[in-house]
Amino acid sequence: MNTDTLSIEGHITALRPKLIAFARLQLRDSVAAEDTVQDTLIVALEKHDAFAGRSAFETWVFGILKNKILERIRYERRYCSWQDSSWQNSEQSDEDAFENLFQDNGRWQPAHKPQSWGNPDQVLENASFWKLLDTCLLVLPDSTARVFTMRELMGLTTQEICDALSLSDANCWVMLHRARLKLRACIEKGWLT
């Protein structure tokens, strides 16, 4: 084994916990997350010579992981039933609750108006905030969390999400809206109280 290979293995070993955490958040299944990360690491090791350095090594490996997660989601959609009727009922029952957050003119009800979270740059640098966000993401319904993380963490377009999950454009936007509202409420409860 040459020095370059040892260096790559060291980088990959250091990245593994982050990759696992991201995959678990997206897939909601520890075994699937471990398998997907393992596939990612194999590709990264086998193709490390193809890494051109146009981005950070971590970004390159996360790009591989995102593709592996999408492959797994497509596989599950084709061959497994990852959506059951229980999430649909809970999502639909939330519709009235969300409507009650707003006045007829579209403005926030005074009791539901968002609170100030402080200086955004300082909040984003706070490790406690990110732990709280991870916790809040875990309590979202699986389908809602999946759509949100695909959009906001994986950087996929709405069309890519719709294609991967067989969603209508309108349904995708509703799920993103619900995720943001639920995350805001969760973060305000855990961060500002």
Query: What is the pLDDT, as a whole number, of residue 91?
Result: 46
- What are the residue boundaries of the structural domains of the chain, listed by start? 3-79, 85-191
Architecture of domain 3-79 in CATH?
A: Orthogonal Bundle (1.10)
**Rounded Cα distance, 163 and 142, in Å:** 18
Query: What is the pLDDT, as a whole number, of residue 87?
Result: 41
Question: Residue 14's pLDDT band (boundaries 50, 70, 90)?
Answer: confident
Question: Using an 8 Å Cβ cutoff, are 44 and 12 in contact?
Answer: yes
Query: What is the pLDDT, as a whole number, of residue 99?
Result: 62
List the CATH code of the domain at 85-191: 1.10.10.10
Residue identified by tokens 């997206």 is 26
> Once rounded to an integer, what is the mean pLDDT over residues 122-148?
78
Structure tokens at 183: 């995350």
Query: What is the pLDDT, as a whole number, of residue 95?
Result: 52
**What are the tens digits of pLDDT across the range 144-168?**
988 998 898 888 899 999 988 889 9
With a threshold of 0.85, does the pTM exceed it? no
Structure tokens at 44: 């990264």
> Once rounded to an integer, what is the mean pLDDT over residues 101-121?
66
